[in-house]
Amino acid sequence: MASVPTLAGISSQMIPTERLKIHVLLSGPEEGVPVVFVHGNFSAATYWEELMLKMPEEYRCIAPDLRGFGDTEDLLIDATRGARDWSEDLKALSDHVGDRPAHLVGWSLGSAPVLQFVQDYPELVSSITFISPVSPYGFGGTKGLDGTPNYADFAGSGGGTVNPEFARRASEGDRSAEDPNSPRNVISAFYYKAPFQAGREEAFLDAALLEKTGEDRYPGDMTPSENWPNVAPGVWGPINATSPKYFDGSGVIDLENKPPVLWIRGDSDQIVSDTSMFDFGTLGQMDLVPGWPGEEVFPPQPMVSQTRAVLEAYKANDGDYREVVIPDTAHSPHIEKPEDVLEILVGFLRSA
């Protein structure tokens, strides 16, 4: 069923929901407490397998390939809806597998659908775990702890901000290691902290390269802008969907019933950071992109600080959260330090 062979103990299913056919990896007893694992960009459910297999038998682990990724049916992502296409897909999956509350675990971009889902369907969420999450104010184009847009057109976010050489190589299925922009090298350099190497490097690359590419898919389209860096969001694909023009997860602050939140991150993350190497504010500040208008106009997006500010407001408004920083770890703690993440996650789920 799965394009990427699964580990023993993981089953693969194509589930025909009312919205689309969703490819899902499963482990644990069907009657177990459901835990839904939502992957990030340039990845797929495959990236959760080792952690799923380590989970105690009391949990039913469910890891879907999001729309636009993996083996899930190839339908467009309407970015003007933010993360709602994904949220509604997850609800359709929930309807099919039992429509009962679940613990949600979102990694990187996968935290956006989780944030949207808890706002749309709070009665179906038992707890939330974020692993290296995208800011509640999306990726790129904002400043300050409240996610203030740098420009009215949200220039500096969306599909036009993706490295075109990386996007080209991803679309061609490049598996080489000679160029720093190759998918293999980007995963190695930024998902993990050196000298860590994933034991399933080939399978992870296979899974990442299943992402649907093109102007209306990944990286998505763009709109020319008079504002630096001269690209603003388009209307299709995953990177536009997580632009702050369309996505705002800070509404969780005002939820009437707030599930407990666990936030896990690595101390050496270069993707989601207050000085992200994938953010034009950082790149401009480092003189890597010419024409930077300066700190006052376009500073590095304080992604981690924005997340903390939203969660502190969540806590002040009768919610609860815990932040855990794992040392010597980059963007993928569940792969780099699975035993640490397992202990933290299971303790949290049992207390929740």
Nearest partner of 17 among 97, 76, 121, 78, judged by Cα: 97
| Secondary structure (DSSP) of 18-82 | SS-EEEEEEES-TTSEEEEEE--TT--GGGGHHHHHHS-TTEEEEEEPPTTSTTS-----BGGGT
Residue 296, burial from CB neighbour count under 10 angstroms (0-12, 13-18, 19+):
exposed
d(C-alpha 303, C-alpha 210), whole Å: 27
- Strand, coil or helix: 174: coil
272-327: pLDDT as tens digits: 999 999 999 999 999 999 999 999 999 999 999 999 999 999 999 999 999 999 99
133-152: pLDDT as tens digits: 999 999 999 999 999 999 99
Residue 128 near residue 262 (C-beta atoms within 8 A)? yes
Handedness of CA 141, 142, 147, 151 (dihedral sign): negative
216-241: pLDDT as tens digits: 999 999 999 999 999 999 999 999 99
Residue 156 near residue 280 (C-beta atoms within 8 A)? yes
71-126: pLDDT as tens digits: 999 999 999 999 999 999 999 999 998 878 999 999 999 999 999 999 999 999 99
| Confidence (pLDDT) at 255 | 97
* 208: its two tokens: 């990442």
Residue 109, burial from CB neighbour count under 10 angstroms (0-12, 13-18, 19+):
buried
For residue 195, cis peptide bond before it (omega within 30 degrees of 0): yes
d(C-alpha 170, C-alpha 178), whole Å: 14
| Confidence (pLDDT) at 1 | 72
The domain ranges of the chain are: 11-148+248-351
d(C-alpha 288, C-alpha 350), whole Å: 46
327-339: pLDDT as tens digits: 999 999 999 999 9
* 306: its two tokens: 């924005």
| Secondary structure (DSSP) of 285-318 | HTTSSTT---TTTSPPP-HHHHHHHHHHHHHHTT
| Confidence (pLDDT) at 151 | 98
d(C-alpha 98, C-alpha 30), whole Å: 10
| Confidence (pLDDT) at 61 | 98
Point out which residues pair with 233 in neighbouring strands.
Answer: 222
Q: Which residues contact 94 (CB under 8 A, 6 or more apart)?
A: 100, 102, 121, 124
Question: 11-148+248-351, what's its fold?
Answer: Rossmann fold (3.40.50)
| Confidence (pLDDT) at 99 | 75
14-67: pLDDT as tens digits: 999 999 999 999 999 999 999 999 999 999 999 999 999 999 999 999 999 999
| Confidence (pLDDT) at 181 | 97
Q: For the whole model, what pTM was predicted?
A: 0.98
| Confidence (pLDDT) at 45 | 98
